[in-house]
Structure 1
Amino acid sequence: MNTTIMIVLFLYLAIVFITGHLAGRREVKGEEGFYTGDREFGFWSTTMSACATDSSGWVFIGACGWAFVAGASVLWMVPGFIVGYGLNWFLLGPKLRRQGKKIGALSVIDFLNKRLDRDGNTIRIVGSIVVILFFIPYMASQLTAAGKTISTIVGWDYNTCLVSGAIFVVAYCFLGGYRSVIWTDTVQGTLMLIVLGVFPIYLIASSGGFTSFFTQVAAIDPILVSPGAGATGSALLGIIVGYLFYGAASIGQPHILQRFLSAKDSKTLRQGSIIATVWFNVMMVGSNIVGLAGRIRMPGIADPEYIFPAMVEASFHPIIAGIVVGAIFAAIQSTYSSLLLVDVQAIASDLTNSFRREPLSEAGAVKLGRMTMVLLGVVSILLAVANIDTVFLLVVYAWSVLGAAFGPLIMVLLLWPSSINKWGAIAGMVVGALVTSIWYSAGLGKIVFETCPGMIAAFAAIFIVSYLTRHIDKAPEKI
């Protein structure tokens, strides 16, 4: 255990907690304040929070580990993310923000229900169930990443590390709700951008430069620098298409879309789009270089998902290492807190209100949200302790289900509203989630990531069912 690294890490965590506490000191006025921060966030906080939430511990732990195994082929995700980010920031996000504010939507599920199920709560119930079921494994994956990071650097027991991480995040979310999440994400996202921008440059430079770096990687295994990881024909096509759809699935992530609902104005999103574009390129290319560098520096590591924290500890002065580890933990905390709050909202607001005749008072709604938050923290800890899969695969699964269930639905509703109705929306969510889950469970992800068949099936279900039920339920009104 390196005492200096531990001290620096704890100082960083203290800064994060104080930031969350200061955000929480401002009075939380009811559900809108607790879940959207009263829609008052500017371009930097909106962008940093959206990007930090998107990146998660997956970038530092899962993606680096996967690049260690699969090599440069992982970069096929980049074109997919270009499509997803472009749609979110330039097209879907502004429409979602404007329409959401006009109808008073507090969440993506609330938005879908108010637009498509004006006289009922069926969409609210189905959507909430999907979010609840698949956010919990997503949350567990972040705790798994926390356990791997801190146990590697500090030397604590893995389970102790992940439990401590969950308690820490739940505590500052408990205090200030969405505002605490945004404030802490802004601090943490900035640090993440700096670290994954600088560390890969250091790794390439210390390996003799760009050409020398990739020559060394190719000498270990030429497949590592192959665009298709050595695959050809239909296998190569499956890899490329799978990665492309995986990146595009960002259009259906409720925890990212929530940032558009809470943005102050459309100008915020226009300004943030440039930062977001730079962000995902730095994150994806940086994590890939780190994984490849691991094949040069630590080829015999037992678990590739430990490669980033292990190289940090071996490469830097303890003070710098502590800051870098803080960035890894920042990625984990930012996503876990965002997932936690959206899942809390799905249970304590969206789902609960679907079965109540009288809405809770503002104080009662906040109290219920905080109680649910603690419960979800416990459940995610139990799942993480079970350690049922790698961080990479857990995130890919949850991300794919959410992208298939909500991505096509959000896209059709915002771009072609006359082509969708309530029953088509429900069919899209259910079919998207089911096809993705069946594909994953059958092990077909080795052929193509489950995001691809899930999203295609969801689009088809939306259009077909909406057409067949057009006489039963009308398309949403224009707003």
Structure 2
Amino acid sequence: MSTNEIYQLIAIFIYMAGMLVIGWYAYRRVSNLHDYMLGGRSLGPAVTALSAGAADMSGWLLMGLPGAIYVYGLGEVWLAIGLTIGAYLNWLFVAPRLRTYTQVSNDSITIPSYLDNRLKDNSKIIRIVSGIIILVFFTFYVSSGMVAGGVFFENSFGLSYHTGLLIVSAVVIAYTLFGGFLAVSYTDFVQGLIMFLALILVPTFAIYLTGGVSETVNSIQAVDPKLLSLFAGTTTAGIISSVAWGLGYFGQPHIIVRFMAIKSVKETKQARRIGIGWMFLSLLGAILIALIGVAYFQQNPSSSLADPEAVFIVMGQVVFHPFIAGIVLAAVLAAVMSTISSQLIVTSSALVEDLYKAVVKQNASEARYVLLGRVSILIVAMAALFFAWTKNETILDLVAFAWAGFGASFGPAILLSLYWRKITTTGTLSGMVVGAITVIIWGNSKFLSGLLYEIVPGFALSLIVTVIVSLVTYKQNVEIETEFNETLELLEREK
């Protein structure tokens, strides 16, 4: 192993040790299921904002986006634009109401339990179906993150895929299992900071290697002037599909659960500013890294880039001392691990809060529920590890599919439940089923998926069906009306 790799491994070791220390700190603050699954609704605005961002972005921000722009140019930025708009609207319209309504409606601590309590569904069918959807999709989602972690160590340090897989899995499982939601949120906050600093510092220093802004632009144009065009190589349908990714935010349980955990509604405004600022600057950094990378390799033809998705990592190694380059590598690992841990805790909560409690209906002590939560994380993690053991690209492909599935299934239900009194259990269930089926059929059709990203028809049909069926099945419920009015009153007071 080279000296550079040793420096980088030291940086990775320090990062992972830090995550475990945070997990231990959070472990000491957990006393009941509410603490374990939602952190006792105690998160500050900065932790809420950065943990939501880190849980959202994953390795796409540091590898996928820069790689796509490096190859195809700024036409790939439409996806980032769509995500930024979607995240902003999510913070603006969902965060304050979801924080308030989940507390008013029987102090709900998960998305399925919120829908169940909001709709007064005595059959528990919404809670059970939602819990199963989360359990199934997120198990594979977690698996895809583990695959990415194994590939990271394989490509960066020459370790075997399975060794890397076990290292990443062991650390994430440890701090998530013991510290619960608080550990996930605090580690995601730190990971979000690492990602942010890396994405800002790499292009800031790399621009000097390519001779400043004008020389960098000239070098990019020498490769292909179209790389600097927002519209070259794009189509109207392609732009709509990219921007439509933003619709997915309204239905992502591992992201919107952060809104439920913030201390107060007042703090959602500050959290929104921090979160969108972090997101905008991080995306800008990723874009600049790709463009500067194009200029750097044009100016240094003796150097080559085997994998475009590694442009961020390679530029970090070119610019910085090996130890600092190791921190850049830690940023990639942070992006992967933050998403895994967030999905693990949501999946665990679905298993305990939404399936065990709803089906078994057993009154147990808080200590027993916390223990069940930890056991659930271990079970889900082992299942995900099993699926990830054989490196399978189809698991990674599931990410875009699952994003659309959650967005189309849960998105309209969440929005309507917060803003419309007349949404019903039957309408919600019908919309969720139609949204999921539409995404499955559209996404698996080569012709249809080539026309438009499946979240567009899935979200639209889910919304329409939910409204129509709810209007047909609506019956006034005094308890629902009271909670809806109480939510509005509390929101008005918090302004």
Give the aligned partner of residue 361 of structure 1.
365
**Do 2:82 and 2:245's aligned partners in 1 also have CA atoms closer than 8 Å?**
yes
Give the aligned partner of residue 196 of structure 1.
199
How many Å separate the matches in 1 of 2:162 and 2:225?
Answer: 37
Distance 1:292 1:99, change over 3 A: same
CA RMSD of aligned residues (A): 2.3
Distance 1:70 1:460, change over 3 A: farther
Distance 1:442 1:460, change over 3 A: same
Give the aligned partner of residue 165 of structure 1.
168
Distance 1:411 1:457, change over 3 A: same
Q: CA deviation at 1:286?
A: 2.2
Superposed counterparts of 1:315-330, under 5 Å: 315-330=319-334
Q: Residue type of the partner of 2:409? A: A
Superposed counterparts of 1:393-408, under 5 Å: 393-408=397-412
Give the aligned partner of residue 256 of structure 1.
255
How many Å separate the matches in 1 of 2:135 and 2:226?
Answer: 39
* CA shift digits 1:188-226 (9 cap, x unpaired): 211211111221233334222334334433433444333
How many Å separate the matches in 2 of 1:461 and 1:302?
Answer: 48
How many Å separate the matches in 1 of 2:449 and 2:203?
Answer: 29
Give the aligned partner of residue 239 of structure 1.
238
Give the aligned partner of residue 37 of structure 1.
39
Bigger mean CA offset, 289-298 vs 51-60? 289-298
Distance 1:475 1:423, change over 3 A: farther
Q: CA deviation at 1:132?
A: 1.6
Give the aligned partner of residue 118 of structure 2.
115
How many Å separate the matches in 1 of 2:436 and 2:474?
Answer: 23
Number of residue pairs aligned between Structure 1 and Structure 2: 473
Q: Residue type of the partner of 2:342? A: S
How many Å separate the matches in 1 of 2:392 and 2:461?
Answer: 28
Q: CA deviation at 1:52?
A: 1.2
How many Å separate the matches in 1 of 2:224 and 2:363?
Answer: 61
**Do 2:202 and 2:319's aligned partners in 1 also have CA atoms closer than 8 Å?**
no
Q: Secondary structure at the match of 1:95?
A: helix
How many Å separate the matches in 1 of 2:213 and 2:270?
Answer: 32
Give the aligned partner of residue 280 of structure 1.
279
Q: CA deviation at 1:416?
A: 2.2
Give the aligned partner of residue 489 of structure 2.
none
* CA shift digits 1:127-171 (9 cap, x unpaired): 112212221232222223222322222221123212210111000
Q: Residue type of the partner of 2:238? A: I
Distance 1:325 1:360, change over 3 A: same
* CA shift digits 1:314-336 (9 cap, x unpaired): 44211110111111111111111
Q: CA deviation at 1:79?
A: 3.5
Give the aligned partner of residue 212 of structure 1.
215
Distance 1:74 1:118, change over 3 A: same
Distance 1:65 1:475, change over 3 A: farther
Q: Residue type of the partner of 1:238? A: A
**Do 1:43 and 1:269's aligned partners in 2 also have CA atoms closer than 8 Å?**
yes
* CA shift digits 1:359-393 (9 cap, x unpaired): 33222211121111112112222333333337874
Counterpart among 387, 392, 411 of residue 383 in structure 1:
387
How many Å separate the matches in 2 of 1:406 and 1:180?
Answer: 26
Give the aligned partner of residue 89 of structure 1.
91
Q: Secondary structure at the match of 1:60?
A: coil
Percent of aligned pairs with the same residue? 34
Q: CA deviation at 1:338?
A: 0.6
Q: Residue type of the partner of 1:81? A: L
How many Å separate the matches in 2 of 1:75 and 1:470?
Answer: 43
Give the aligned partner of residue 16 of structure 2.
13
How many Å separate the matches in 1 of 2:240 and 2:317?
Answer: 36
Distance 1:447 1:227, change over 3 A: farther
Give the aligned partner of residue 290 of structure 1.
289
How many Å separate the matches in 1 of 2:26 and 2:108?
Answer: 23
How many Å separate the matches in 2 of 1:19 and 1:328?
Answer: 19
Q: Secondary structure at the match of 1:41?
A: coil
Give the aligned partner of residue 344 of structure 1.
348
How many Å separate the matches in 2 of 1:306 and 1:159?
Answer: 21
How many Å separate the matches in 2 of 1:46 and 1:6?
Answer: 30
Q: Residue type of the partner of 2:358? A: S
Q: Residue type of the partner of 2:247? A: A
* CA shift digits 1:415-436 (9 cap, x unpaired): 2233x21111112222212211
Counterpart among 49, 63, 66 of residue 64 in structure 1:
66
Q: Residue type of the partner of 1:324? A: V
Q: Residue type of the partner of 2:15? A: Y
Give the aligned partner of residue 333 of structure 1.
337
How many Å separate the matches in 2 of 1:385 and 1:354?
Answer: 32
Bigger mean CA offset, 4-13 vs 429-438? 429-438
Q: TM-score, normalised by structure 1?
A: 0.92
Bigger mean CA offset, 120-129 vs 218-227? 218-227
Q: Secondary structure at the match of 1:417?
A: coil
**Do 2:41 and 2:263's aligned partners in 1 also have CA atoms closer than 8 Å?**
yes
Distance 1:66 1:376, change over 3 A: farther
Q: CA deviation at 1:296?
A: 4.7
Which 4+ stretches in 1 moved above 6 angstroms? Answer: 472-475
Q: Residue type of the partner of 1:378? A: M
Q: TM-score, normalised by structure 2?
A: 0.89
Residue ranges of structure 1 left out of the alignment (5+ in a row)? none
Give the aligned partner of residue 54 of structure 1.
56
